[in-house]
């Protein structure tokens, strides 16, 4: 675990430190496209954040190659090199698209080529494990088509959801964290050596997202662009491909003791082939809805619009930050629920917890104007918008400002008899000689 944490921290640190210089380079290179009709940000923001994320990927894989335990992954498998080859190709495509723009069909073609390069170097689904039946071996053509489809769908799912500050990086980070827990348990809990590359890919991906998020949270100082969104989508799909079709269910049955337990454990393996990824079910659903919506209107499936899930959250009244947190919540609920099902066969309590959390999520989703506030003892550790004292002071300052800007003297509250702006309060008259009052 320490070597995985070291790899994660190195990837996060390199990504974080590179993002600042990359932002300056993007501004100098003119990679700041004007605001489009579907955008939600108000000021032009530089892209090319994927350059820093690619640097974090390379640094994480380089450090892992020199660690005592993780170096065995490079000796026993060619998957890290295959990932780096496909990632380099897809990253270069993203950089060109962020700077000059690339046609959608060309991007789709290069995505398929990048997936084909990984398949050629050994990163592919070789068979589909079926508990009770055994392994269904795929032909080379079937393996290539299934792998390419999974890569392309995952890349575009992450790319489609990248519409709010911090949304794509946070959701992929949550997915990678859940996937890391599953792959790490399979590797060290069950001794399945084929899960080692997927565990490494997930750790590096978590570091890439964590290192970029501080620069990308609302208001974002830089966007990851297609160079970043397509890159993290490819890395996430590579982990799913690496662990799917490489694990023999009969080997797991030796530990679980029954086929039924094996089926429960293998649930997150089959889900990625169907959704295509349980870990990014929300982006995948958004992708399907976008394709259906645009096709129904007679548009190209790649034509951009403002009908994504995060856009709908903004339209019903949620703030930018709350819309992102709601998407985080549902992504985490689905991802960690799938991992929980693989841990235990006693699924009743898992179902009850999921139902309770879903009810809480629906309440927050349907109450866009609700703003929770923290107790006074916790105000020092929560964001300022959740502090009651700060909100009261802000409201009082806003009321005072409105009062000073009010041009109608009749609506100004009188102060000791003053009825107009600039009038001084009336003071008691001083007695003078001859006024009939004693001195």
| Tokens representing residue 439 in the block | 């001195």
Nearest residue to 57 (alpha-carbon basis) of 242, 202, 237, 216:
202
8-state DSSP, 268: H
CA dihedral 52, 243, 124, 331 (to 10 degrees): -50
For tokens 């309060």, the residue is 425
Nearest residue to 7 (alpha-carbon basis) of 227, 176, 190, 162:
176
* 205 contacts 248 by C-beta, under 8 angstroms: no
Nearest residue to 226 (alpha-carbon basis) of 65, 99, 60, 395:
99
Nearest residue to 306 (alpha-carbon basis) of 40, 99, 108, 113:
40
Cα–Cα distance for residue pair 12/424, rounded to 1 Å: 62
416 annotated to a ligand binding site: no
The residues, ordered by sequence, that sit 6+ positions from 6 with a Cβ below 8 Å of its Cβ are: 63, 67
The residues, ordered by sequence, that sit 6+ positions from 351 with a Cβ below 8 Å of its Cβ are: none
423 annotated to a ligand binding site: no
The residues, ordered by sequence, that sit 6+ positions from 103 with a Cβ below 8 Å of its Cβ are: none
Cα–Cα distance for residue pair 225/53, rounded to 1 Å: 11
| Tokens representing residue 184 in the block | 């790490």
Helix axis angle for 196-216 and 79-99, nearest 10°, is: 30
Binding-site residues sit at 159, 226
Residue numbers belonging to the annotated binding site for Mg(2+): 159, 226
């Amino acid at each position: 675990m320490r070597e995985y944490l070291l790899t994660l921290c190195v990837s996060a640190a390199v990504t974080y430190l590179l993002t600042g210089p990359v932002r300056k380079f993007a501004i100098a290179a003119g990679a700041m496209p004007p605001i489009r009709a579907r955008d939600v940000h108000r000021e032009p923001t530089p892209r090319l954040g994927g350059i820093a994320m690619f640097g974090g990927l390379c640094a994480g894989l380089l450090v892992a190659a020199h660690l005592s335990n993780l170096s065995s992954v490079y000796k026993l498998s060619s998957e890290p090199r295959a990932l780096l080859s496909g990632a380099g190709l897809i990253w270069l495509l993203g950089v060109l698209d962020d700077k000059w723009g690339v046609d959608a069909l060309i991007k789709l073609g290069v995505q398929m080529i990048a997936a084909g390069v990984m398949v050629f170097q050994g990163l592919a689904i070789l068979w589909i494990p079926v508990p009770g039946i055994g392994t269904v071996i795929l032909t080379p053509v079937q393996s290539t088509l299934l792998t390419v489809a999974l890569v392309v769908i995952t890349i575009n799912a992450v790319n489609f959801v990248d519409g709010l500050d911090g949304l794509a990086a946070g959701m992929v980070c949550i997915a990678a964290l859940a996937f890391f827990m599953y792959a790490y348990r399979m590797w060290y809990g069950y001794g399945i050596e084929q899960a080692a590359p997927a565990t490494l890919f997930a750790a590096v991906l978590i570091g890439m997202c964590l290192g970029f998020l501080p620069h990308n949270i609302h208001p974002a100082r830089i966007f990851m662009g297609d160079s970043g969104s397509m890159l993290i989508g490819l890395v996430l799909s590579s982990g799913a491909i690496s662990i799917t079709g490489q694990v023999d269910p009969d080997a797991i049955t030796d530990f679980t003791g029954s086929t039924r337990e094996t089926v429960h454990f293998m649930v997150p393996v089959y889900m990625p082939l169907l959704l295509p990824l349980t870990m990014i079910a929300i982006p995948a659903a958004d992708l399907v809805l976008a394709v259906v919506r645009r096709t129904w209107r007679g548009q190209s499936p790649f034509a951009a619009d403002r009908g994504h899930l995060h856009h709908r959250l903004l339209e019903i009244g949620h703030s930018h930050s709350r819309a992102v947190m709601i998407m985080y919540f549902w992504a985490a609920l689905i991802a960690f629920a799938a991992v929980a099902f693989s841990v235990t066969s006693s699924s009743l309590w898992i179902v009850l917890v999921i139902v309770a959390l879903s009810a809480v999520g629906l309440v927050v989703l349907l109450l866009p104007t609700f703003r929770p506030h923290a107790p006074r003892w916790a105000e020092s550790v929560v964001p300022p918008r959740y502090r009651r004292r700060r909100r009261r002071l802000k409201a009082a300052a806003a009321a005072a400002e409105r009062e000073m800007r009010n041009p109608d003297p009749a609506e100004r509250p009188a102060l000791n008899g003053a009825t107009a702006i600039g009038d001084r309060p009336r003071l008691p008259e001083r007695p003078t000689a001859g006024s009939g009052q004693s001195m």
